[in-house]
């Protein structure tokens, strides 16, 4: 199983914002902290905004922040919002397969996918970037 870089960047963005809940952050600041292009980060933030996971404020004093507290943002919800397709094998997404309908692989892949998302559903953003995240702040070069 592999999440796309887009989803990874979305999770990282949310982690960054969870670390600085009392202020707005800029796309440039988040992109710089992770060494990701601002152009790509803009697309990620746009998707996070569409999913109502972040709020964006335009203008001179604008920026972005979490749309709700970190403890209310489930990791499973984030992955579902960011991943265009969670299928492990092509037959899960309805694509033609020469052995489709008689092979048991699709059922096994469905079970594995459900198990992965179920584990992510057990955790929130606060579990990743909650209290005691001093090392994360330091590594990202974010002032506490």
Cα 75 → chain centroid: 7
Reading the chain (144 residues) residue by residue, the pLDDT tens digits are 678 899 999 999 999 999 999 899 999 999 999 999 999 999 999 999 999 999 999 888 889 999 999 999 999 999 999 987 777 776 766 677 787 777 888 888 888 888 988 999 999 999 999 777 888 888 888 865
Torsion angles phi and psi, residue 133, rounded to 5? -95, 30
CB 28 within 8 A of CB 38: yes
List the domain boundaries for the chain: 5-139
pTM of the model: 0.86
**Per CATH, domain 5-139 is 1.10.10.10:** yes
């Amino acid at each position: 199983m592999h999440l796309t870089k887009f989803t990874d960047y979305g999770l990282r963005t949310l982690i960054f914002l969870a670390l600085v809940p009392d202020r707005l952050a800029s796309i440039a600041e988040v992109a710089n902290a992770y060494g990701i292009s601002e152009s790509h980060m803009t697309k990620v933030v746009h998707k996070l905004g569409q999913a109502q996971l972040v709020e964006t404020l335009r203008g001179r004093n604008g920026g972005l922040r979490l749309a709700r507290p970190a403890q209310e943002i489930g990791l499973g919800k984030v992955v579902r919002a960011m991943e265009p397709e969670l299928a492990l094998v092509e037959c899960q997404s309805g694509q033609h397969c020469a052995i489709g309908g008689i092979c048991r692989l699709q059922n096994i892949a469905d079970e594995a996918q459900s198990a992965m998302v179920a584990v992510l559903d057990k955790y929130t953003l606060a579990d990743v970037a909650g209290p005691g995240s001093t090392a994360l702040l330091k590594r990202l070069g974010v002032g506490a």
